[in-house]
Amino acid sequence: MPPIPRVTKTLLIACVAIFFAGAVLPAVFGPLEAMMALWPLQSGRFMPWQVVTYGFLHGSVGHLFFNMLGLWMFGSEIERLWGERRYLQFLLASLLTAALTQLLVTFVMGSPYPTVGASGALYGLLLAFGMLFPNRTIMPLFPPIPMKARTFVIVFGVLELVLGMTGRSGVAHFAHLGGMLGGFLMIRYWRGQSPFRGRRRW
């Protein structure tokens, strides 16, 4: 197994350290959530830096585990392929578009609850993996059925849309879709494809 690249490793350590700092010292979690979680615009607690910092907080061990597993699985290979700079740019684009999508949804819905987690950036990575390695076979944990990366991305994208339209699970499904959109647009921009035709080439 190749070593975990530097940026991916740093993000893994940071997310795990912040989570366990809040778990071991409960008095720490409240101030962290107040400062770093993505609060709705109408809550009066929103701050500009939260569109980035919310990605370092996680609500449970399961939430942390699956996000870090995905970051390791997809992020490591993409970082090795793209290099640190482009990889960071891509993660930031996915994280920001996920945050902006979630702010819009919570504003329209009038939700008072904050959003945490790196899932938006992770779904951007998932989309990138499907675009870069469409025929690579993936064995997801749920369901444990082997499928091509392209199929995996389509299934999860449709599932997020359906759950976002119909469910009240407390999961930020539209933020996940926003992360995928940001990742898709970033790749189109690098390739000089519409709506960025002629701007830049990969």
What are the sequence ranges of the domains in the chain?
6-191
Contacts of 111 (CB under 8 A, 6+ apart): 40, 105
CATH topology of domain 6-191: Rhomboid-like fold (1.20.1540)
Q: Quick: pLDDT tens for 66-123.
A: 999 999 999 999 999 999 999 999 999 999 999 999 999 999 989 899 999 999 999 9
Q: How far is CA 185 from CA 30, 137, 160, in A?
A: 35, 24, 19
Mean pLDDT, residues 165-185: 86
Q: Does residue 200 surpass a pLDDT of 60?
A: no
pLDDT of amino acid 201? 55
Does the predicted model carry a pTM greater than 0.85?
yes
In this predicted model, what pLDDT tens digit does every residue of 38-72 receive, in sequence order? 999 999 999 999 999 999 999 899 999 999 999 99
Which is nearest to 19 in space by CA: 36, 7, 2, 6? 36
Instruction: Give pLDDT, residue 134.
Output: 92
**Distance between CA atoms of 185 and 108, rounded to whole angstroms?**
24
Task: Reduce the DSSP state of residue 148 to 3 states and report it.
Answer: strand
Rounded to whole angstroms, the Cα distance separating 71 from 59 reads: 17
Q: What residues act catalytically?
A: 119, 176
> pLDDT digit string (tens) for 19-47?
988 887 777 677 888 899 999 999 999 99
pLDDT higher than threshold 70 for residue 169: no
CB 40 within 8 A of CB 107: yes
